[in-house]
Structures are given as structure tokens and as C-alpha cells.
Amino acid sequence: MVKPRRPDGEPRATDFVESLDRGLRLLQAFGARPSPMTLSEIAGLAGLPRATARRILFTLQHSGYVSSDGKLFAPTPHVLTLAGAYLRSNQIVTVLQPALDQIAAAAQEISSLAVLDGDDVVFVARGSPTRIFSGGVDIGYRLPSFCAAVGRVLLGRLSDAELKTRLSAMKREALTPQTLTDPKRLLAAIIADRARGYSLVDREAEPHFRSIAVPVKRYDGIVVAAINIGAHVDRISTDEMNKRFLPLLRENAEKVTATLV
């Protein structure tokens, strides 16, 4: 007979499947390097004993998620089914994709959709002005939230007290000479961005790149995502971002609010 949950609804310690957690950690370890790795390398990156990593790898190989030549291991395209499940089932991606395409076509720049994942932002959709390959962030690309325009917009949904605590606790390494890392200055910047309804970050996440972002709110006003337009500093000025891109982003973000639940 299945034992009832605790009165507070929280899962019991016995509900945690440690082997599944280890398997997911091991899959994530493949993202640290672009080439196949040995058992020892994967175990080290995943923080697992070699014997444990070996059993998990063989299980994943049996399920089709990992391939091996007997010495080196690599993920297979089957891993993408995990990401595909998120993208196909996520309402935000489904609703925002047409808006991203419209923004990209009007601005002739790449527009992206991001959500908060821990202390990072992860880009989950994008619109491109052409069908030919163009540079820009890929789906699944991650950045520290504190130095990205989409990240500051998303952090702005926190109360001032929560934001102060979050910024103090998170890792804040400078990615460029322009990266703002001081928690007091970041707090002030994010609060100011929240008040004006957008964030413009200039060369803080990448040395030659600037981005402007606005929040995406659901029907009840809660911020659930952020959309942006980013461009190389030699091509687009901050003034042009404010004048041309900000109204475009705001208009499309407002259009979808009523449909997000």
C-alpha cells in the first residue's frame, strides 16, 4: 500500500531517487566539453565514483542516450528528446515563438526568449530575420542572470529584500571589463530597470555585444519570462535600441499577456 504524504504536502526523504539524480548529473557533465570523454573524465566532472559512473553510463547506453567505442563516451541525438519534451509542452515557448519571429523580421535582428533557472538564464526560443544561418545565442545557451538584460528583467520580479539576498549569495564573476559585480550597484540597477520596465546591458555579458530586454507577464501580472533583442556594438547603438527596439519588444510582450496562464 502507498504511504500517504506528510500533512504539509512535502515529499518524504524516501521519495528521492538518488540513482536518477546521479544519472541526470552525469548527462549534464557532457556539456562541459565538446568531445567524447573517458569514464574517468565523466566521473570527475559529475562528482561520482568511477564504478557508479560506469553503471550509469552503461544504463544510458542501453537506453540509447549514450554511445561508446569501448573507451570513449558521448551523448547521442536521443538526448534531445528530453529538451524537446520541454519545448513542445511549454506554453510560454508556444505562445511567444510567433512574437519572436515578428520582432526579428521587423528589427532585422535576432530576438530571444529566456527564463530563469537557478542563478542563470537559459534561452528557450529565438526568432531570426532570415532563414539562413545567423549568429546569436542558441537554444539552451546559458548566462549568469546578474549580467544579462533578460536576467536583470527576471530578477526584477523579486522583492527588494529577496533580490538583495539573492545577489549576495550568487556567484558574480566578471565576464568582461564592463561587467558590474558589486551587489549594491546591481541591486540599484535592477530596481531601476524594474521601475522603467526594461533593461539594457552594454558589453557586460559579452565584450562586443549589447542587449535590451522586457519582461513577459502572464494574465495576472506575474513575470514568467523575458524577451530581448541583441546586437553587435559596431552595428547598433544604445540610442537606437531604445528608440527602435524597445517599443517593438513592449508591443509584442503585451500582446501575449492575456493568453499566458
* Per-residue pLDDT tens digits for 194-214: 999 999 999 999 999 999 999
Burial class from Cβ neighbours inside 10 Å (0-12, 13-18, 19+) for residue 120 reads: middle
Q: Name the phi and psi angles at 212, rounded to 5.
A: -125, 135
Domain with CATH 3.30.450.40 in the chain: 90-259
217: three-class secondary structure by DSSP: strand
* Per-residue pLDDT tens digits for 95-126: 999 999 999 999 999 999 999 999 999 999 99
pTM, 2 dp = 0.77
**Matching residue, cell 559596431:** 234
* Cβ neighbours of residue 162 closer than 8 Å, sequence gap 6 or more: none
Domain with CATH 1.10.10.10 in the chain: 13-78
The whole-number pLDDT of residue 8 equals: 52
The whole-number pLDDT of residue 198 equals: 98
Q: State which amino acid sits at residue 62.
A: H
Count other C-beta atoms under 10 Å from residue 239's C-beta: 8
pLDDT > 70 fraction of the chain, expressed in percent and rounded = 92
| Nearest partner of 249 among 217, 212, 224, 220, judged by Cα | 212
C-alpha–C-alpha distance, residues 245 and 211, integer Å: 10
C-alpha–C-alpha distance, residues 43 and 54, integer Å: 8
Q: Taking 90 as the threshold, does the pLDDT of residue 171 lie above it?
A: yes
**What fold, for 13-78?**
Arc Repressor Mutant, subunit A (1.10.10)
Q: Thinking of the domain 90-259, which architecture would CATH place it in?
A: 2-Layer Sandwich (3.30)
Confidence of residue 188 (pLDDT cuts 50, 70, 90): very high
Q: Taking 80 as the threshold, does the pLDDT of residue 12 lie above it?
A: no
The whole-number pLDDT of residue 2 equals: 40
C-alpha–C-alpha distance, residues 185 and 176, integer Å: 17
Residue of 42 and 88 predicted with greater confidence: 42
**In the predicted model, what is the mean pLDDT of residues 143-149?**
97
The whole-number pLDDT of residue 14 equals: 66
